Amino acid sequence: MSLFRKKSLAALMKQVGDKESGLKRTLGPGSLIALGIGAIIGAGLFVRTADAAGTVAGPAVIMSFVVAAIGCLFAGLCYAEFAAMIPISGSAYAYAYVTMGELVAWVIGWALVLEYALGAATVSIAWSEYLNKLLDGSIPYQWCHSPWDDVGPGGVTGLCNVPAVFILALLTAILIKGTKESAFVNSIIVFVKVGIVLIFIAVGWQYVNPANHTPYFIPADALTTAQIKAKALGEALPEGTRGFLEWGWGGVLRGASIVFFAFIGFDAVSTAAQEAKKPERDMPIGILGSLAICTVLYILFGHVLTGVTNWQTFVTTGKEASVAYAIQNHMPGYGWLATAVTVAILAGFSSVILVMLLGQSRVFYSMANDGLLPKIFSDLHPRFRTPHKSNMLLFVLVGLFAAFVPGKVAGDLTSFGTLLAFVLVSAGIWIMRKTNPETRRPFRTPLVPLVPLLGILVCGLMLVAIDGHTQLVAVGWMAFGLLIYFGYSRSHSKHQAG
C-alpha cells in the first residue's frame, strides 16, 4: 500500500453530487463572505494586534498585517481555484488527497486541528477575558484562567477557564441545530462587530498621538518585554537584549506570524464548499471578498490602536482587553464606547468560534468519510443533517484546551497549523496544473507557478518566524498524528487500492 495513494478527482466529484445523504446546500455568496468575516474579525484583531505590537513589532504592527495579508492573498487565490473546482467540505485536506496523496492529506488534516480546534479554544479564552472586563472583574481569577497562566493579583493561580467552556457549549448546540441557522446568527453578529470596528476607527482617529508612532519600528536597543514588565512594577531590570526577530523588520516578520492568527477565517469558508448553493461562483467571492474587506479594516484599526496607546503599554496594564483599555484611558468621554466595544467583541468572538468549530467538524467529516477517522465523525443527524456526534466530541477536545491551556500558547499553535496548510495548498495548485491540466476550473489562480511559489515563500517565512517553543510543541503534535495514521488510519482507508 502506497503512502501517497491519491483519491481520484472523479470520486470526489461523485461525493459532491450526492444531494440526498450529504450536507445541505444553503449558503449564497453573501452568507459566505459573512462567514469569512465572522471568522476573521475576532481575537486576531482585538487581542493579537496588541500582543504583536507590545512584544515584537511596535507601531509597525501595521506592516505585520500587510506581510500576513500578502501571504494570505497568494494562498487565498490557490484556495479559490480549489474550492471552485472541488466544492467539497474538508478544505485543504480534500485538495491534498487529490494532488499529493493520502499521507500528505493526513498531515494537513491533522494540522487543521491546530488551526480550527485550537483557534476556537484561543478565541473562547479571549471571550472569557472580555466578559470579565465587562463585569468589572467580578469573575474570580481562578475560574477564568488556566493553571499555566501568569499568577493573578495576590498570588492567585488559575484553576479552570469556566466562561470559555460555557461559550463553546452554547455555540456547539447552535451548530448541531443546522448550518443555515448558524449562518443567520453569524450574519447578525458580523453586522454588529463591523459597525463597532468602524466606530472605533472613526472616533479613535481624533485621539491618535503621532508621538506613539515614533519610532515606527522597535529599535535594537529598546527594553525587552521582561524589562518593560519589571520597569512597570518598579523592579530591577533583568539582563538581556532583543533578538533579531524582536525589533526592526525582524520584529515585523515575527509580528506577522503572530497577527497571522487574525486572517485564518478566510480559508474556513472553503470548508463549507459542500454547503454552497453555487460553489463555482460563490467560493471565490466568499474567500477573496472576506479577505479584502478585513485587510483594509485591520490596517486602519492597527494604526488607530497603536496611535491612541503607546505600544509598551500592551506589555503591562493594557495587555488584557486592550481595546477597552485604550478607550477608557486615552479617549475621554467615550466610556460608553468601551462598553459597546466590549459587547460587540464578545459577539464577534462568538462568531469566530462558531466558524472555527464548523470548519473543524467539516474536516473531520471528510476524513471519516475516507476511513481515516472512525465513522462517528461522519454520522449526520437524521433531522438537521449536521455531524452532531463530531460536534459533541470536538466540544470535549476544544473545551479541555480552553479550560486548561493559556491563550497565547493555543494561538501560536493555531498559526503554525494554518501556515503549514497554506504552504501545502499553494504547492497543490502547482501540482494539479501539471497532473490534471484538462480539469474544468471555474476560477483560475493567476500567474501559476509564480503565485503558488510566492505563497509558499511568504507563508514559509512566517512559519519559520514562529517562536521555537511553539515549533517544538507543533512537531510533537504532528508526530502524535503520524502514530494515529500508521496505527489506525492507513489500514482503515477506503482508498487502499488507489
Has residue 273 been placed in a domain?
yes
Q: Cβ-count burial of 306 within 10 angstroms (0-12 exposed, 13-18 middle, 19+ buried)?
A: buried
Kindly state the cell numbers that stand for 86: 472541488
Asked whether the beta carbons of 89 and 268 are under 8 A apart, the reply is no
Has residue 5 been placed in a domain?
no
Which one, of 454, 424, 433, 439, lies nearest residue 280 by Cα?
439
Angle in degrees, 0-180, between the axes of helices 388-404 and 335-369, rounded to the nearest 10? 130
Helix, strand or coil, per DSSP, at residue 487:
helix
CA distance 219 to 210: 17
Which one, of 72, 54, 138, 13, lies nearest residue 293 by Cα?
72
The amino acid that residue 192 corresponds to is V
The CA–CA distances, whole Å, from 386 to 16, 48, 175, 441, 474 equal 16, 32, 8, 29, 30
Query: From the centroid of its chain, how far is CA 414?
Result: 6
Query: From the centroid of its chain, how far is CA 119?
Result: 5
pLDDT value of residue 41: 78
Has residue 15 been placed in a domain?
no
Has residue 486 been placed in a domain?
yes
**Helical (H) or strand (E) element with 382:** none
Asked whether the beta carbons of 125 and 407 are under 8 A apart, the reply is yes
Asked whether the beta carbons of 304 and 208 are under 8 A apart, the reply is yes
CA distance 156 to 135: 19
Kindly state the cell numbers that stand for 14: 461523485
Q: List the CATH number of the domain containing 383.
A: 1.20.1740.10
pLDDT value of residue 61: 96
Q: Hunting for cell 484611558 — which residue is that?
A: 329
Kindly state the cell numbers that stand for 249: 523588520
State the SS3 of 174-194: HHHHCHHHHHHHHHHHHHHHH
Question: Peptide bond preceding 284: is omega within 30 degrees of 0, i.e. cis?
Answer: no
Which one, of 57, 58, 99, 65, lies nearest residue 82 by Cα?
99
CA distance 312 to 194: 27
Kindly state the cell numbers that stand for 145: 484562567
pLDDT value of residue 498: 45
The amino acid that residue 161 corresponds to is N
Number of structural domains in the chain: 1
Has residue 480 been placed in a domain?
yes
Helix, strand or coil, per DSSP, at residue 276:
strand
pLDDT value of residue 56: 93
The DSSP line for 77-133 is: HHHHHHHHHS--TTTHHHHHHHHT-HHHHHHHHHHHIIIIIHHHHHHHHHHHHHHHH
The CA–CA distances, whole Å, from 176 to 73, 253, 360 equal 32, 39, 13
The most distant pair of C-alpha atoms in the chain lies apart, rounded to whole Å, by: 69
pLDDT value of residue 21: 46
Has residue 366 been placed in a domain?
yes
Has residue 13 been placed in a domain?
no
pLDDT value of residue 111: 86
Domain housing 249: 28-492
Asked whether the beta carbons of 249 and 336 are under 8 A apart, the reply is no
Apex CA 77: angle with CA 73 and CA 83, to 5°? 130
Kindly state the cell numbers that stand for 296: 483594509
Kindly state the cell numbers that stand for 292: 479584502
Asked whether the beta carbons of 157 and 397 are under 8 A apart, the reply is no
Q: Hunting for cell 488527497 — which residue is that?
A: 97
Asked whether the beta carbons of 21 and 275 are under 8 A apart, the reply is no
Residue ranges in the chain whose pLDDT is less than 70: 1-2, 11-27, 39, 43, 88-91, 178-183, 186, 265-268, 270-274, 320, 496-498
Angle in degrees, 0-180, between the axes of helices 335-369 and 102-112, rounded to the nearest 10? 150
Report phi then psi at 421, rounded to 5. Answer: -65, -40
Helix, strand or coil, per DSSP, at residue 364:
helix
Asked whether the beta carbons of 161 and 320 are under 8 A apart, the reply is no
Has residue 125 been placed in a domain?
yes
CA distance 189 to 260: 22
Asked whether the beta carbons of 193 and 348 are under 8 A apart, the reply is yes
Q: For residue 238, how many other CB atoms are within 10 A of its CB?
A: 10
Rounded to two decimals, the pTM is: 0.78
State the SS3 of 23-54: CCCCECHHHHHHHHHHHHCCHHHHHHHHHHHH
